[in-house]
């Protein structure tokens, strides 16, 4: 479901609207699942990756809260938000040298994803490797330099780039 709503909707014949929404009945048909199964996936997702709403036409819609590939053009309508003074980013240890040299870039996504706490950042990093390093992001310095942050519906902080000068390794 995440792959379809974030990266390849066309693989299932889906078309996201400008804000990333797709009618729930269309997604159910594309996935061959029931509404109860969809509700279980949405409710059970540990990161609250999906949002469901009812449109002005009375049709329920679903979208991914963030994490879309650059090739999927969406405007999530997120307003700029003031982040806490520091946020966190979990990543495989093998990425540390390049991040400290080049900063954090969104890669194939629209934004760099940052976590509000060390526990969440660690869990995010562990999705890719058992050897995880947690980075502390000096968001206060970034805001002072004019960087813009957004907060998605599920609490993930988003920004376009994190300069290497605002990254340091977290120490317990």
CATH number, domain of 146, equals 3.20.170.30
**Of 135, 96, 139, nearest to 118 (Cα)?**
135
pTM (2 d.p.): 0.75
Is residue 158 included in any domain, yes or no?
A: yes
**Of 65, 127, 124, nearest to 89 (Cα)?**
124
Is residue 52 included in any domain, yes or no?
A: yes
CB atoms within 10 A of CB 99: 18
Least confident of 24-33, 79-88, 122-131: 122-131
Strand partners, 60: 54
pLDDT at 172 over 70: no
Give the count of alpha carbons within 13 A of 128, CB side only.
13
Is residue 155 included in any domain, yes or no?
A: yes
pLDDT at 72 over 90: no
- Both tokens assigned to 100: 């400290």
Is residue 51 included in any domain, yes or no?
A: yes
Is residue 163 included in any domain, yes or no?
A: yes
SS3 for 107? coil
As to burial, measured by CB atoms within 10 angstroms (0-12 exposed, 13-18 middle, 19+ buried), residue 73 is exposed
pLDDT band at 99 (very low <50, low <70, confident <90, very high): very high
**In this predicted model, which residue has the larger pLDDT, 47 or 168?**
168
């Amino acid at each position: 479901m995440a792959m379809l709503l974030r990266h390849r909707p066309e693989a299932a014949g889906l078309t996201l609207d400008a804000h990333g929404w797709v009618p729930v009945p269309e997604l159910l048909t594309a996935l061959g699942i029931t509404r109860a199964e969809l509700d279980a996936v949405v409710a059970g997702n540990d990161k609250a990756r999906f949002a469901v709403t009812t449109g002005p036409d009375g049709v329920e819609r679903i979208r991914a809260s963030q994490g879309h590939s650059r090739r999927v053009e969406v405007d999530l309508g997120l307003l700029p938000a003031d982040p806490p003074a520091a946020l966190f980013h979990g990543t495989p240890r093998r990425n540390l040298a390049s991040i400290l040299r080049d900063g954090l870039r969104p890669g194939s996504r629209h934004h760099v994803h940052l976590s509000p706490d060390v526990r969440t950042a660690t869990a995010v990093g562990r999705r890719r490797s058992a050897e995880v390093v947690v980075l502390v992001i000096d968001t206060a310095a970034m805001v002072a330099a004019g960087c813009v942050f957004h907060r998605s519906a599920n609490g993930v902080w988003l920004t376009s780039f994190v300069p290497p000068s605002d990254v340091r390794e977290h120490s317990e």
